[in-house]
Amino acid sequence: MSRGINKKNINFRYNIVTIFTYFIGIILIIKLFSLQIVHGAEYREQSNTRLTRESILDAARGEILDKSGNVLVTSSQRFNLELYKSKIDTEVLNNTILRIINVLEKYNISYTDSFPISINPFAFNIDGDNLDKWKETYDIQEDASAEDAFNKFKEKYKIQNEDISEARKIMAIRYAIVREGYSSTKSLTIAKDIPREAVAEFSENADQFPGINIYVEPVRQYTAGNLASHILGYAAKINDIEYQEKKDTYSQNDIIGKTGIEYLFEEYLRGEKGIKQIDMAVDGTITAEVVSEEAVAGADIVLTIDSKLQQIAEQALKDNIEKIKNGGFGEKYDARGGSCVVMNVKTGEVLAMASYPDYTPQSFADGISNEEWKSYSENKSYPLLNKTIQSAYEPGSIFKMVTAMAGLESGNITLTERINDTGIYKKYGSEWKCWYYTDYHRGHGYLNVIGAIEKSCNFFFYETADRMGIDVLDKYAKYFGLGVKTQVELPGEISGTLASKEYAESINRTWNPGDTINAAIGQGYNKFTPLQMTKYLSMVANGGNNIDVSIIKTIKNADGTEVSKEEINNFVAQKLGLDSNEQSEDIQLNSEYLNAVKQGMKSVTSGESGTAYVRFRDFNIPVGGKTGSAEAGFDENNNKLVNAWFAAFAPYDQPEIAVVVMVENGGHGNYTAEAVRNIMAEYFGMNTQNVTEDISAMSYMESIR
């Protein structure tokens, strides 16, 4: 009984499935009939008249800001016009091109035009062998005139316009199409930076302009002009070599960081591109646009720089150089350029960094002209060089604090010992003169370490270095960061050179005791960057504590999160190939010795016989400073070059900042002290003070050392 019931159930279910399958088949047949027979022609027409392509959405490049959030570099937007290939005949294409150009000219917009034939009168814009090669490439007879060639192209492009001016306009774009190529997926950019009025006209009459597309392009804007140009660097269109290396992630029209922060933090600044799907008819008319992947803006780089202080530092440096050149301090020197660094002595943060002469980053972003590039590349003052980190100079007397600390720490001199400066230091069959003897034909007499720093007595430091030897001097110089990179977050930093036996050996020289004596006063093989000197000065001011020099405050992602300091440091170290083992050994400096050295520096600015007293005698904040003048060879006319330094920290009792100014062939360190004073006046909210120059000849000569 049960077996019979089961059989009926099975048969019933089978019949239901069969009937359902039958009806489904009928429905599919009807649907296919509708698609292929009833609406077939309609759907085939739609298929043949619709194209789909993907368009890249450029990401807004991240901004660069100062420590207070003031924008130094940003990205604006501009509208560009591009043309895609569409299924239209030659006559329609030519008429479309002419209509496009008429709109562009209506709004005074320049457009792509590299066609080498001009009209009224006819002439080739190619000379010599290049013209012959061009004629061969485009199958133009050798003896063809410019007018003959023009007519050949007119015939080639099937241009029917009798007006040669109109024909020439069409020809310019057709010529660009042949040279650069375009397709339904690859566009030809015809014009850039189109005003909104023109965009509206193209959009409202889209049916008259088949194949065109207007896209938004981020444009780099350096809002503060030349301010901090050597820090910020510049971004410009990617070149062929860069593109071949990075074509997996960059297109041929992308901009890329070339120098400075723009280069170093390219991976953070560039952002992530998006994708837009565009549907268009074969005649080039856009029918739909859908963003399938949004672009993500690049991260913002926040610097430690104070833009107001940066402006003052740049101006003070420029004014100082011009004043030296014009003889404003009494003696004229052909000052070639210079640099300045302002640093927080406790944190190592760079508050201002100036290199003179500077340059205009916007020119590179927009495509620099040959004339402007030539003005930079042929300038013997090297405006494209960041002299604070890419040039090393003999430091002269501002190195003497290292010699003093090394001598005290090693026990080769004491705080109370007085060394008699007789004017000429004689030893090893040679002699070295103190600057005071050169000017006054006598020595300073007996001086302790404080007095030696105040009067910048060469003799004292000759004797100190000779007692302790070069190895001891090197040990302390390295601790203060001299001769090694500061590892600041900027490309191109050099190490400079520290006078040592190892360095002498590397250049196939034998070290001798006289080299130690030269090294003691910052001469000989010693050459350091202004940034290194500022770090060293900051460590003297802060009690001998090592600091990490930095110009990056933070990096802010587009979503508001911040990049960790550890990630930034690792990224910079990897990109710049920095060696973490390059740091010197840790040394605990005796505070009593440091205070003595600092007291000598205070006497430089506050003691009547101090070498910078004339610049700071009316300054309201106590300052510790040191002048330096270092011989730097000879110029092209065999005149001696003397670089001028001034290094200072303030306030003396509770130091906050260190400032170093260096002027190439500035003559006397005392001259550069004025720039340091003006920068400090800005930092501390003081009015720049004028210093009367009516000093006696004697005090004048003492002040310039």
pTM of the model: 0.81
Type of residue at 179: R
* 639-673 burial code (b ≥16 CB/10 A, e <16): eebbbbbbbbbbbbeebbbbbbbbbbbbbbbbbbb
Give me the average pLDDT of each 10-residue run along the chain (705 residues): 47 55 59 52 49 74 96 92 91 96 96 94 89 92 94 95 95 94 87 93 92 85 96 93 90 89 97 76 65 84 98 97 94 93 98 98 91 94 97 96 98 97 94 91 95 95 97 97 96 97 95 96 96 98 96 96 95 90 77 97 92 92 95 82 96 97 95 97 75 36 40
Helix (H), strand (E) at residue 169 = helix 164-180
Compute the CA torsion angle 166, 170, 173, 178 (nearest 10 deg): -140
* Residue 138: CA count within 13 A, CB half-sphere: 23
Which tokens hold the place of 641?
């070059």
Quick one: DSSP state of residue 34? Answer: I
Number of H helices, E strands in the chain: 28, 22
Distances (CA, A) of 480 to 153, 303, 593: 71, 24, 15
pLDDT for 633: 83
Distances (CA, A) of 169 to 97, 161, 365, 424, 448: 8, 11, 28, 81, 83
pLDDT for 698: 35
Helix (H), strand (E) at residue 649 = strand 640-650
As to burial, measured by CB atoms within 10 angstroms (0-12 exposed, 13-18 middle, 19+ buried), residue 6 is exposed
For residues 7 and 154, give the distance between their C-alpha atoms in angstroms, rounded to a whole number. 87
Helix (H), strand (E) at residue 179 = helix 164-180
pLDDT for 301: 98
CB atoms closer than 10 angstroms to residue 400: 28
pLDDT for 223: 95
pLDDT for 15: 59
For the chain, state the CA radius of gyration.
Answer: 36
Terminal CA-to-CA distance of the chain, rounded, Å?
126
Query: 3-class SS at 12?
Result: helix
pLDDT for 584: 63
For residues 269 and 263, give the distance between their C-alpha atoms in angstroms, rounded to a whole number. 9
Please calculate the CA angle 575-579-584 and round it to the nearest 5 degrees. 145
Please give the biggest Cα pair distance in the chain: 140
For residues 184 and 51, give the distance between their C-alpha atoms in angstroms, rounded to a whole number. 8
Q: Cβ distance 611 to 705 under 8 Å? A: yes
